[in-house]
Amino acid sequence: MQISSKQVLEKMEELVARAKQADSEDALKGYIMAVQALCEVMVNEQPPTSSLHISQPVKQMTTMQPMQHTTTVPITERVKVEGANGSSLLDF
């Protein structure tokens, strides 16, 4: 069964309208995730082999994540306490 791009776009419009009327953040995120899934379906859709399809290259936006800095902590000698039972944190 072939679903046309027009039908997918209409469903996306319906979901966007529902997202605009959402009364909670969770509902809004749900509608947005559904729209995202439909976008992915349209992007990954294989064109029929009988027709030629020329597409323009699309610039994809990338998000940059902040770099995480790691610090090294020097290993120090364990403190020995008289009367301690063992090396576990739970030993008293």
At 28, which amino acid appears?
L
Is residue 31 situated within a structural domain?
A: yes
Owning domain of residue 28: 5-44
Measured CA to CA in angstroms, residue 33 lies from 16, 40, 42 at distances of 10, 11, 14
pLDDT at residue 11, as a whole number = 93
Is residue 91 situated within a structural domain?
A: no
pTM of the model: 0.47
Tell me which of 12 and 47 has the higher pLDDT.
12
Contact 84, 91 (CB under 8 A): yes
Q: How confident is the model at residue 25 (pLDDT cuts 50, 70, 90)?
A: very high
Is residue 84 situated within a structural domain?
A: no
Is residue 89 situated within a structural domain?
A: no
How many distinct structural domains can be found in the chain? 1
At 66, which amino acid appears?
P
pLDDT in tens, 26-67: 999 999 999 999 999 889 876 655 444 555 665 666 666 666
Is residue 70 situated within a structural domain?
A: no
Tell me which of 92 and 26 has the higher pLDDT.
26
